[in-house]
Amino acid sequence: MTKKDDTIREVERAWTNLRSVIESVPESELTAAGVVEDWSIKDIMGHVAFWDERAANTLIAATAGRPQDLPKGEGPNWVDEWNQREYLARKGKSFKDVRGEWITAHENARKALADIEESALVAKFGQGKAVDYFAGDTYTHYDEHAAQIKAWLREMETTEK
Protein backbone atom coordinates (compact mmCIF):
# COMPACT_ATOMS: atom_id res chain seq x y z
CA MET A 1 0.00 0.00 0.00
CA THR A 2 1.16 3.49 -0.80
CA LYS A 3 0.33 6.72 0.99
CA LYS A 4 -1.90 7.56 -1.96
CA ASP A 5 -3.79 4.26 -1.60
CA ASP A 6 -4.22 4.91 2.12
CA THR A 7 -5.47 8.43 1.42
CA ILE A 8 -7.96 7.23 -1.20
CA ARG A 9 -9.26 4.62 1.23
CA GLU A 10 -9.62 7.18 4.06
CA VAL A 11 -11.39 9.69 1.82
CA GLU A 12 -13.88 7.05 0.69
CA ARG A 13 -14.50 5.78 4.23
CA ALA A 14 -15.04 9.24 5.71
CA TRP A 15 -17.12 10.50 2.76
CA THR A 16 -19.40 7.46 2.92
CA ASN A 17 -19.88 8.03 6.64
CA LEU A 18 -20.58 11.76 6.28
CA ARG A 19 -22.96 11.25 3.41
CA SER A 20 -24.80 8.51 5.30
CA VAL A 21 -25.15 10.72 8.38
CA ILE A 22 -26.44 13.64 6.31
CA GLU A 23 -28.87 11.40 4.44
CA SER A 24 -30.27 10.23 7.79
CA VAL A 25 -31.36 13.77 8.68
CA PRO A 26 -35.08 14.35 8.17
CA GLU A 27 -35.72 16.57 5.15
CA SER A 28 -37.53 19.10 7.34
CA GLU A 29 -34.34 19.59 9.39
CA LEU A 30 -31.79 20.09 6.58
CA THR A 31 -31.94 23.88 6.75
CA ALA A 32 -32.59 24.23 10.49
CA ALA A 33 -29.95 26.26 12.32
CA GLY A 34 -28.22 24.88 15.38
CA VAL A 35 -26.37 21.81 14.16
CA VAL A 36 -22.99 23.45 14.78
CA GLU A 37 -23.55 26.81 16.43
CA ASP A 38 -25.86 28.66 13.99
CA TRP A 39 -25.09 26.38 11.04
CA SER A 40 -27.57 24.02 9.42
CA ILE A 41 -26.83 20.82 7.50
CA LYS A 42 -26.98 22.93 4.33
CA ASP A 43 -24.38 25.31 5.79
CA ILE A 44 -22.09 22.43 6.76
CA MET A 45 -22.38 21.00 3.25
CA GLY A 46 -21.41 24.38 1.74
CA HIS A 47 -18.52 24.64 4.20
CA VAL A 48 -17.26 21.16 3.29
CA ALA A 49 -17.64 21.99 -0.41
CA PHE A 50 -15.36 25.01 -0.02
CA TRP A 51 -12.66 22.99 1.76
CA ASP A 52 -12.96 20.14 -0.76
CA GLU A 53 -12.31 22.62 -3.57
CA ARG A 54 -9.32 23.90 -1.63
CA ALA A 55 -8.10 20.31 -1.23
CA ALA A 56 -8.38 19.76 -4.99
CA ASN A 57 -6.54 23.01 -5.66
CA THR A 58 -3.83 22.02 -3.19
CA LEU A 59 -3.13 18.82 -5.12
CA ILE A 60 -3.21 20.64 -8.45
CA ALA A 61 -0.67 23.17 -7.11
CA ALA A 62 1.43 20.33 -5.65
CA THR A 63 1.45 18.56 -9.01
CA ALA A 64 2.73 21.78 -10.60
CA GLY A 65 5.24 22.32 -7.77
CA ARG A 66 3.66 25.73 -7.10
CA PRO A 67 2.55 26.14 -3.48
CA GLN A 68 2.50 29.89 -4.07
CA ASP A 69 -0.56 29.42 -6.31
CA LEU A 70 -2.75 28.73 -3.28
CA PRO A 71 -4.28 31.68 -1.45
CA LYS A 72 -3.02 31.80 2.11
CA GLY A 73 -4.81 33.08 5.16
CA GLU A 74 -3.31 35.74 7.32
CA GLY A 75 -3.53 36.38 11.01
CA PRO A 76 -4.63 34.10 13.82
CA ASN A 77 -8.30 33.96 12.77
CA TRP A 78 -7.98 33.38 9.04
CA VAL A 79 -9.76 30.01 9.08
CA ASP A 80 -12.73 31.48 10.96
CA GLU A 81 -12.76 34.46 8.58
CA TRP A 82 -12.75 32.19 5.51
CA ASN A 83 -15.45 29.99 7.03
CA GLN A 84 -17.64 33.04 7.69
CA ARG A 85 -17.05 34.39 4.19
CA GLU A 86 -18.05 31.08 2.63
CA TYR A 87 -21.06 30.72 4.93
CA LEU A 88 -22.32 34.14 3.84
CA ALA A 89 -21.62 33.38 0.17
CA ARG A 90 -24.02 30.40 0.29
CA LYS A 91 -26.62 31.75 2.71
CA GLY A 92 -29.12 32.65 -0.02
CA LYS A 93 -28.60 29.51 -2.08
CA SER A 94 -31.11 26.69 -2.11
CA PHE A 95 -30.42 23.37 -0.42
CA LYS A 96 -30.46 21.71 -3.85
CA ASP A 97 -27.79 24.09 -5.19
CA VAL A 98 -25.55 23.68 -2.14
CA ARG A 99 -25.96 19.90 -2.26
CA GLY A 100 -24.90 19.93 -5.92
CA GLU A 101 -21.87 22.05 -5.08
CA TRP A 102 -21.00 19.68 -2.22
CA ILE A 103 -21.06 16.63 -4.47
CA THR A 104 -19.16 18.36 -7.31
CA ALA A 105 -16.48 19.66 -4.95
CA HIS A 106 -15.99 16.18 -3.51
CA GLU A 107 -15.66 14.72 -7.00
CA ASN A 108 -13.07 17.42 -7.83
CA ALA A 109 -11.06 16.47 -4.72
CA ARG A 110 -11.26 12.77 -5.62
CA LYS A 111 -10.15 13.47 -9.19
CA ALA A 112 -7.21 15.58 -8.04
CA LEU A 113 -6.18 12.76 -5.71
CA ALA A 114 -6.49 10.18 -8.49
CA ASP A 115 -4.44 12.36 -10.83
CA ILE A 116 -1.54 13.26 -8.52
CA GLU A 117 1.67 11.25 -8.57
CA GLU A 118 2.67 9.65 -5.27
CA SER A 119 5.94 11.61 -5.28
CA ALA A 120 4.11 14.97 -5.46
CA LEU A 121 1.59 13.89 -2.85
CA VAL A 122 4.25 13.15 -0.23
CA ALA A 123 6.86 15.76 -1.19
CA LYS A 124 7.43 18.91 0.86
CA PHE A 125 4.78 21.45 -0.04
CA GLY A 126 4.77 24.81 1.66
CA GLN A 127 5.15 24.17 5.38
CA GLY A 128 4.23 20.50 5.20
CA LYS A 129 3.23 17.89 2.64
CA ALA A 130 0.35 18.06 0.19
CA VAL A 131 -1.08 14.84 1.62
CA ASP A 132 -1.33 16.41 5.07
CA TYR A 133 -3.13 19.51 3.80
CA PHE A 134 -5.42 17.31 1.74
CA ALA A 135 -6.24 15.08 4.72
CA GLY A 136 -7.10 18.09 6.87
CA ASP A 137 -9.39 19.52 4.22
CA THR A 138 -11.10 16.22 3.39
CA TYR A 139 -11.34 13.05 5.44
CA THR A 140 -10.44 14.38 8.89
CA HIS A 141 -12.79 17.27 8.17
CA TYR A 142 -15.58 14.89 7.13
CA ASP A 143 -15.09 12.91 10.35
CA GLU A 144 -15.29 16.08 12.44
CA HIS A 145 -18.58 17.17 10.92
CA ALA A 146 -20.10 13.68 10.86
CA ALA A 147 -19.47 13.46 14.62
CA GLN A 148 -21.05 16.87 15.18
CA ILE A 149 -24.13 15.95 13.15
CA LYS A 150 -24.48 12.63 15.00
CA ALA A 151 -24.30 14.47 18.33
CA TRP A 152 -26.94 16.95 17.14
CA LEU A 153 -29.21 14.10 16.02
CA ARG A 154 -28.82 12.39 19.42
CA GLU A 155 -29.65 15.66 21.14
CA MET A 156 -32.74 16.08 18.96
CA GLU A 157 -33.89 12.57 19.86
CA THR A 158 -33.57 13.18 23.61
CA THR A 159 -35.30 16.56 23.50
CA GLU A 160 -38.22 15.24 21.42
CA LYS A 161 -39.11 12.56 23.98
For residues 28 and 156, is the Cβ–Cβ distance under 8 A? no
In 3D space, the residue among 2, 5, 1 whose CA is nearest the CA of residue 113 turns out to be 5
pLDDT at residue 73, rounded to an integer: 81
**Averaged pLDDT for residues 11-39:** 96
Nearest 5°: CA angle at 124, between 118 and 127? 140
pTM flag (> 0.75): yes
Mind listing the domains of the chain with CATH numbers? 3-20+28-160 (1.20.120.450)
Lowest mean pLDDT among 43-52, 71-80, 89-98: 71-80
